[in-house]
Amino acid sequence: MTHHDATTRPAVAATDYGMAPSGSPLYAATIGVEDLARSIAFYRDEMGFDVLDRRRMAGPAFEAHWRLPRGATGDVAVLADRGCEAGRLVLVQFDGEERQVVRNIAGQRFFGLVNLNFYSDDILAHTARLEARGCRAWSEPVVHEMGATVGEPIEVMLDGPDSVILNLIQLQARDPQARIRRTMAWIADSGGYNRCGTTPVATSQHCVSDYARAMAFNMKVMGMSVRNDVELAGAMMERFMQYPPGARTRDTYLQGTHIFGKIAINHPLNFACVDLVPRAVAPNIGYLAQSFRVPDLGASLAAANALGAEVFSPAIELELPALGRVTTALVRNPGSGALHELIQMA
């Protein structure tokens, strides 16, 4: 497929792309990084993202938002694929010498925010490039037979920078009516793949211990709706995801009003996971928060409160790169305790 470097996506025809009618997609995955320049270079050169804004943040509001000590600072960069308003990356290099790596275990048998999924137009070539850059692939790219109604995507997991797991997905489907075909059509009609042959963050996985509460939070607070709900098992899944023999897990995809920025709620059904959520806080290195822009922050916080979600930091005005002055809050998803940043839309 042709690569494009356009900074804006053209208007699309009135085609049924399987989009959700409402709901906030993932605005950005917020990653604590060890070295901001190095992480920017990776996502720019290997994933085709551009820096929209970069600045140094400090002050009482910044400290309160992340529960940092007085005088703490952070260098922040917002990256996006051709300005897309979903599936962005917020990279933060917090100061301090006591920063810990969040994912201190191999694989993804842990509760919390897990990975970043990107669609790729050539998964074999892309995997080889990432391995040459030092990213370890967990297996060869494998074909997932998800049934004629969904399709047969090819996927691979890799260890990415800053302890974050990367998932590359090449979309394919034998049946012309398969659901994956709708996503393929949207990409083709909306500018194609970027200069590196990839997309914004298509989906981000959240592994939870309480499925019902996690689902309620994403649906009632962010207004997302279910796109796909399956139980995963089998030797191929075990090898691909580095799960134990006989593992079963429930995997539910939720979507807002964009083809990108979906959330996968993963609930292990018969095996134990390590709880890494307590480590996923500033100033540590790794996947710290999922960020969502919501139409009414007050209503979203009220819905979160009704579900018993813990407020990590209450609503506060903060100057955010690429967005300007906004009102934002951090709350913990009651399904795992992972941090979700809610941002009032302008």
Number of domains in the chain: 2
Give the pLDDT mean for 87-110.
Answer: 94
Whichever domain contains 228, its CATH number is 3.10.180.10
- Does the pLDDT at position 28 exceed 70? yes
Q: Which of 260, 275, 290 is the last residue of a domain?
A: 275
pLDDT of residue 221: 98
Q: CB–CB of 332/314 below 8 Å?
A: no
Spatial distance between the Cα atoms of 107 and 34, rounded to a whole number of angstroms: 20
pLDDT of residue 236: 83
**For the whole prediction, is pTM greater than 0.85?**
yes
Q: In DSSP terms, which residues pair with 289 in a beta bridge?
A: 30, 339
pLDDT of residue 1: 36
Instruction: Domain of residue 255: give its range.
Output: 110-275
Spatial distance between the Cα atoms of 23 and 294, rounded to a whole number of angstroms: 8
Q: Which of 275, 293, 311 is the last residue of a domain?
A: 275
Angle between helix 211-220 and 297-306 (nearest 10): 160
One domain, residues 135 and 159 = yes
pLDDT of residue 14: 54
One domain, residues 65 and 88 = yes
Of 41, 280, 54, nearest in space to 163 by CA: 280
Q: Which of 243, 275, 307 is the last residue of a domain?
A: 275
16: pLDDT confidence band, cut at 50, 70 and 90?
Answer: confident
User: Which of the pair, 225 or 19, is modelled with greater confidence?
Assistant: 225
Each residue's pLDDT tens digit, 250-292: 999 999 999 999 999 999 999 999 999 999 999 999 999 999 9
Each residue's pLDDT tens digit, 227-250: 889 888 888 888 888 899 999 999
In the chain, % of residues over pLDDT 90 = 82
Q: CB–CB of 121/154 below 8 Å?
A: no
- Is there a domain that residue 69 lies in? yes
Amino acid identity for residue 44 in this structure: R
80: pLDDT confidence band, cut at 50, 70 and 90?
Answer: very high
Q: Peptide bond preceding 283: is omega within 30 degrees of 0, i.e. cis?
A: yes
For the record, the structure tokens of 250 come out as 């429930």
Q: In DSSP terms, which residues pair with 158 in a beta bridge?
A: 137, 166
CA 33, distance to chain mean position in Å, is 15
Each residue's pLDDT tens digit, 181-219: 999 999 999 999 999 999 999 999 999 999 999 999 999
One domain, residues 231 and 177 = yes
Q: In DSSP terms, which residues pair with 142 in a beta bridge?
A: 155
